[in-house]
Every structure is written in C-alpha cells, then in structure tokens.
C-alpha cells in the first residue's frame, strides 16, 4: 500500500478546497489577500449573504418569514402556513450550518475532529444576537469574533509570553464582553423559540 500511495500522491493528500486569487482585486494592499485570495466556500458565503438579505427583505417569502417570526397568529389569519414556513426555514438554516461545518473541514484541514467546532456554535449564536438578527449585522459580528479567534492562534504561534489558557479563552471572552454590552438592546423576533398551536 505504501508503493501505491507513493505512486499516486493525490490519494495521500487531504481533500480541501485550495484558495485561488481573483485577478487585480487580490493585489489591493492589505484587504486584497484577505478578501480575494480565498477558497470557493468563502465566495459562496458572500453570495449567500447577499441572497439571504434580498430574500428576507425584498420577497414575498421573506415577508412571510418575518411575519411568522414576529406574530404567527396574525400570519395564520392571513393564510400563511406557519408550520410549513417554520419547517422550510429551519431546514434552510440547517443547510447553511452544514455549509459552515463543511468549511471547517474542506476549507482548512481536510479531516474531521470532534473538537474542531470547540464552542463555535455559541459564538455563532452570539454573533446573531450582536448583529440584531440581521444578515449583514450578523456577518459584521462574526468578523469581530473571527478576528479574536484568529488572533489567539497567531499569538500562540508567535510565542507571546501569555499563558496558553488565556489565549484559548480570548474568543469566548470577547464574545461575553460584547454580549454584556448589547444584551438589553438586541430585541429578538417576538415569537422566537415559541411553539405555535393552530386554533
């Protein structure tokens, strides 16, 4: 088997999406490499972000979705199928979460590890609250938390004289500090997490 792997090198490499550069844009100082030298999943994220914003605020489906989130009984009175709308939206949300999981594997290491998420679901929930349940607000919050996560990795590599335990806590500390400041201001959809019973 070692001879086969030596002969077919591509069988011995993890399957990941390699970054590729967008001509001209990747040459912009500082932001060029950050935004325009990424893998296909990152560009898919940007397209998905715009698509979700447009769908939520400029389509009939988005109006129904927001109505079901704010006042399901009123939406039901107007003929919106609350159960179907919720079911479809939870399924779509699960698909987007699955894409995030695929990014963790296919965008970086090419293998699964049970600890690779390491509380990122909590940080994602915090980003949604900090972003006030809006697509672009959540994206901005995720960038802040992602920066804190990347910073702890970089500081560990540079061997900064800070105990490793504090470096590992950095993203979660930033998350808690930010949430402590916005917890009273961020208002969730009125029917968020509440079961609906048809009358």
3-class SS of residue 93 = helix
Q: How far apart are CA 32 and CA 26, in angstroms?
A: 4
Dihedral (CA of 44, 97, 172, 168) sign: negative
Determine contact, residues 69/188, Cβ cutoff 8 Å.
no
Q: How far apart are CA 149 and CA 172, in angstroms?
A: 9
Q: Taking the CB of residue 140, how many other CB atoms lie within 10 A of it?
A: 13
pLDDT at site 3:
65
pLDDT at site 155:
80
pLDDT digit string, tens, across residues 4-30: 656 666 655 667 788 888 888 888 888
pLDDT at site 93:
92
pLDDT at site 56:
95
* Average pLDDT value for the chain: 84
Both tokens of 133, joined, read 């349940």
Phi, psi (degrees; rounded to nearest 5) at 21: -95, 140
User: How far are the Cα atoms of 62, 105, 106, 111, 169 from residue 114, in angstroms, in the given order?
Assistant: 35, 11, 15, 10, 19
Phi, psi (degrees; rounded to nearest 5) at 38: -125, 175
Q: How far apart are CA 120 and CA 136, in angstroms?
A: 19
pLDDT at site 61:
95
pLDDT along the chain (199 residues), means of 10: 60 72 85 84 91 96 94 92 94 91 80 76 86 91 85 79 79 80 76 85
Spans of all domains in the chain: 1-113, 118-189
3-class SS of residue 116 = coil
**Model pTM?**
0.81
Both tokens of 185, joined, read 């201001």
The contacts of residue 140 (CB under 8 Å, 6+ apart) are 131
């Amino acid at each position: 088997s070692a001879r086969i792997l030596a002969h077919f090198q591509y069988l011995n490499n993890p399957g990941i999406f390699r970054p590729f550069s967008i001509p001209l844009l990747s040459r912009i100082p500082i932001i060029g490499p950050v935004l325009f030298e990424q893998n296909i999943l990152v560009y898919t994220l940007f397209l998905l972000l715009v698509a979700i914003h447009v769908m939520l605020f400029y389509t009939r489906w988005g109006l129904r979705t927001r109505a079901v989130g704010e006042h399901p009984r009123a939406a039901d009175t107007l003929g919106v199928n609350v159960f179907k709308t919720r079911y479809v939206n939870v399924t779509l949300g699960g698909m987007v979460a699955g894409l995030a999981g695929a990014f963790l594997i296919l965008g970086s290491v090419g293998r699964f590890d049970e600890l690779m998420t390491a509380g990122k679901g909590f940080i994602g929930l915090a980003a949604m609250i900090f972003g006030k349940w809006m697509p672009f607000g959540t994206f901005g919050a995720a960038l802040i938390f992602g920066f804190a996560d990347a910073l702890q990795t970089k500081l560990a590599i540079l061997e900064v004289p800070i105990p490793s335990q504090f470096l590992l806590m950095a993203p979660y500390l930033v998350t808690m500090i930010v949430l402590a400041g916005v917890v009273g201001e961020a208002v969730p959809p009125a029917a968020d997490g509440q079961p609906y019973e048809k009358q």
